[in-house]
Amino acid sequence: MSIAYFDNAASTKVDPRVLDAMLPFFCENYSNPSALHSCAQEARAAVERAREQVAELLGAEDPSEVIFTSCATEANNTVLGTFCGRLLYSAIEHPSVRNLAEGTDRAEAIPVDEEGTIREDAYAEALSRVKPELVSVMSVNNEIGSVQDIDKLGAMAHDAGAHFHSDITQGVGKTELNLSTRPIDYATLSGHKFHAPKGIGVLWARGGSPLKPFMCGGTHESQRRAGTHNVPLIVGMGAAADIIRREGATESARMRDLRTRLIEGVTSKVKDVKVNGQENGAPHIASLSFYRTEGESILINLDARGICCTAGSACSSGRGLGSPILNAIGLEQDWLRGTVRLSLSRFTTEEEVDYLVSSLVAAVEDVRSLAGYANV
Ligand code: PMP
């Protein structure tokens, strides 16, 4: 049975072109780019080329603003760990921001509306009352695909004298970047969400912004991130950034069409289904809630049909508490429990979407009939 993969918000396939770019740096040139010999200098040049590729994708003025990290989690932790003052963060941030913030008494969550967008009145009120040093708002949510008005939120943070951080992990290739010209001071991203391997991330920090290293060690990355450069992964990140810079807009439009096909296919055939987030949310994420079903039962049923997806998000699965994101948008328990996240990528085909639609219709019918719920 072939696999239809609809879990791209959790991780994506490495693009074969990215793999090709990485391969020479495993067994041919494996030198440490901080060394002085010519092989090391060649590896160093590859790291710097990747930095330029990422800077170009991000629309960053100066490639030295790009810092390579092990993942977006590390990048998010670095930004939050830089500040000792008050912090505002959206209630739907990834756990690498939310859990850190919840662990301090200096942080306050900004509520979101039922579509998963920041409540601007509450945000404005919190800015003037809390007087934060840092505001952290993700560009695209990983569970429901809601997209924030980062320009407006960032400008409001700056007017209030705060630094502004955006976790753009799910927004790369799907939303506007052009970071240099926008009211953003820090952005964080992860290679494995856009066809580079796992274990490589980027922290973009606008020149002159404060930064406290997360780890203590050598002088790598201009003393901002210690640890030997992971050359193959950095090269992979650069290659993936270059591809998405050239192909992202076309891909994104294709994914949006597939998402519409998926949502229309399911909502026209299944009753009591709700689409979470905004109607025009991120092109690659569809979060669907089926009234009075269990998302995990649907997931297992789909798995048996060769379809990979997630109930809620990979980061909150297995917690047994219900997704904090779905709670934050005020989804009632009877809907929340029956939620599945389906996420697309460059490699998703129309045939796979059609197979997903027919399988999902059958899976919901199975789960509902087992529970004695009258279906379609
Ligand atoms: N932020 C967001 C929005 C994410 O979706 C993820 C991955 N689920 C992360 C951060 C963490 O990324 P990484 O796996 O690179 O730590």
Q: Name which residue sits closest to atom 10 of ligand 1, judged by CA.
A: 72
For 152-191, b/e burial (b = at least 16 CB within 10 A) is: ebbebbeebebbbbbbbbbbbbbbebebbebbbbbbbbbb
Predicted TM-score of the model (pTM): 0.96
Mean pLDDT, rounded, for 87-116? 97
CB atoms within 10 A of CB 108: 15
Of the candidates 217, 216, 221, 192, the one whose C-alpha atom is nearest the C-alpha of residue 205 is 221
Tens of pLDDT, residue by residue over 228-258, are: 999 999 999 999 999 999 999 999 999 999 9
Segment 194-204 shows an average pLDDT of: 98
pLDDT of residue 372: 84
- The per-residue pLDDT for 312 is 65
Ligand 1 atom closest to the Cα of residue 140 is: 3
What residue owns the CA closest to ligand 1's atom 12?
72
| Separation CA 127–CA 169 (nearest Å) | 25
The CATH architecture annotation of domain 4-11+249-371 reads Alpha-Beta Complex (3.90)
Ligand 1 atom index nearest CA of 170: 3
Average pLDDT taken over every residue of the chain: 95
Domain 4-11+249-371 and domain 16-244 have a common topology: no
What pLDDT, in 10s, does the model give residues 56-76? Answer: 999 999 999 999 999 999 999
Which helix (H) or strand (E) segment is 340 a member of? strand 339-343
Residue ranges per domain, the chain? 4-11+249-371, 16-244
Annotated catalytic residue, options 39, 84, 308, 315: 315
Options 3.40.50.2300, 3.40.640.10, 3.40.50.970, 3.40.190.10; CATH of 16-244: 3.40.640.10
Q: Is the pLDDT of residue 277 over 70?
A: yes
Counting from 1 in the atom list of ligand 1, the atom nearest the Cα of 315 is 8
pLDDT at 373: 78
Residue of 142, 147, 194, 323 to test ligand 1 pocket, by largest number of atoms within 8 Å of CB: 142
| Residue among 68, 74, 96, 136 to mutate when testing ligand 1 (max atoms within 8 A of CB) | 96
Ligand 1 binding pocket includes 172 (Cβ within 6 Å): no
Is 309 considered catalytic here?
no
> Is the C-beta atom of 169 inside 6 A of ligand 1?
yes
Identify the residue whose tokens are 């030295």.
Answer: 64
The dihedrals phi and psi of 375, each to the nearest 5 degrees, come to -110, -165
First to last CA, the chain: 27
pLDDT tens digits along 22-64 = 999 999 999 999 999 999 999 999 999 999 999 999 999 999 9
Give the orientation angle of helix 350-370 with respect to helix 231-269, to 10 degrees: 60
pLDDT at 375 over 60: no
Neighbour-count burial of 1, counting CB atoms closer than 10 A to its CB (0-12 exposed, 13-18 middle, 19+ buried): exposed
The rounded Å distance from CA 369 to ligand 1 centre is 36
